[in-house]
Amino acid sequence: MKKYKITKFTVEEKQDIVDRYNEWMKPENVVWVQKEYKDTISSLTYNFGVDGSIEINKKLKSFTFANNYAEKIWILEKLKDHQMHSTSYIESKIGKYPINDFNDETHQRILLEEMEDGGVDGQGFLSDFIEERIKLENYENFSWELDVRQKLSDCEMHTTPYVVKRIGDYEFEDIDDEIFQRIKLEECEKLNSKFILKRIKPHMGKINPETELHKRQILNECEKHTTDYVKQRIKEFQPLTLKTKNHEDLYEQLQWREDLEQSEEHSTEFIEENIKFYKGHDNSEIVFIKKKVHGTEKEPS
């Protein structure tokens, strides 16, 4: 049962009827007007099939405020437009929101058509995922509803078992924010080695996905610069930087690993002897290694 339907002509529609069908209103033209109207009705079956013709005629009779052939033929042309955008789904939805005029109904039907058959794959925006979520949303018209459905479709596009498992830990400002964070969680899933997971676990669910992804990216770089030598030596150095939202502590870890990796490549008897002196002097060894690697510390001749 439709909640809203057209019950009268607007001022603009009345003027359009006069402009387009003025000759139909003249009494002296009644004979050919009747014939033209009858022929137009008969042609509906050819253009829209038996079912379409019956549906149009049924709707035409419901507009009891049409008082003459000019108004009836004008409505008939509009109904033909409507029938071009008519499916069981559209007919079940049209009238859910206020309809301003005949053109507005055509516009609403086109929006419903997009909901049913639109999208990149032509599958529309009526999936079980969307239908379940749309129940929780409030909107005032089909344009708004379509926009929400399209965004929910983006959410669905970025849904994996991993994302489903983790998405419940977060609250979002709006659907746009949810889409953004789902994408970040998808990226987090790609950076999920044992090395990274061991170090990121304490943060999971406590920081937003974008921040978590950034940490994972730095840890991924740390892992690239981790050899057996680095694993053994990194334990000797205590962090100099406190943990912050800007990841300074992880950047420090990355720098140390890069430096230790280079020190392994440039190990000489001279360095090994000098390291014995630097051990126990906080992180001074790293400073010495960097000087040697970059050529600012000279070996005695």
Residues whose CB is less than 8 angstroms from the CB of residue 264 and which lie 6 or more positions away in sequence, other chains included: 227, 229, 230
Give the residue from 58, 84, 110 where a domain finishes.
Answer: 84
Question: C-alpha dihedral over 10, 12, 13, 19, to 10 degrees?
Answer: 150
- What does the chain come to in residues? 301
Is residue 90 one of the residues assigned to a domain?
Answer: no
Is residue 96 one of the residues assigned to a domain?
Answer: no
Tens digit of each residue's pLDDT (9 = 90 or more) over 283-297: 555 555 555 555 555
CA 270 to chain CA centroid, nearest Å: 59
Is residue 129 one of the residues assigned to a domain?
Answer: no
Give the residue from 53, 84, 115 where a domain finishes.
Answer: 84
Give the residue from 63, 84, 105 where a domain finishes.
Answer: 84
Q: DSSP letters along 185-234, please?
A: HHHHHHS--HHHHHHHGGGTTTS-HHHHHHHHHHHHHHHHT--HHHHHHH
Closest CA to 274 of 285, 283, 287, 282: 285
Write down the pLDDT at residue 300.
Answer: 43
Please say whether the beta carbons of 180 and 210 come within 8 A.
yes
In total, how many domains does the chain have?
A: 2
As a whole number of Å, the CA-based R_g of the chain is 36
In this prediction the pTM is 0.79
Residues whose CB is less than 8 angstroms from the CB of residue 179 and which lie 6 or more positions away in sequence, other chains included: 151, 154, 155, 158
Tens digit of each residue's pLDDT (9 = 90 or more) over 38-86: 999 999 999 999 999 999 999 999 999 999 999 999 999 999 999 999 9
Write down the pLDDT at residue 295.
Answer: 56
Residues whose CB is less than 8 angstroms from the CB of residue 203 and which lie 6 or more positions away in sequence, other chains included: 212, 215
Is residue 266 one of the residues assigned to a domain?
Answer: yes
Whether the per-residue pLDDT at 251 is higher than 60: the answer is yes
Residue type, 66: A
How far is residue 33's CA from residue 36's CA, in Å, rounded to a whole number?
A: 5
Is residue 298 one of the residues assigned to a domain?
Answer: yes
The average pLDDT across 17-34 equals 96
Closest CA to 87 of 41, 130, 124: 124
Is residue 246 one of the residues assigned to a domain?
Answer: yes
Please say whether the beta carbons of 37 and 69 come within 8 A.
yes
Using DSSP's 3-state secondary structure scheme, residue 120 falls into: coil
User: Other CB atoms closer than 10 Å to residue 177's CB: what's the count?
Assistant: 13
Is residue 184 one of the residues assigned to a domain?
Answer: no
Look up the domain containing 25 and give its range: 1-84
Is residue 153 one of the residues assigned to a domain?
Answer: no
Whether the per-residue pLDDT at 103 is higher than 60: the answer is yes
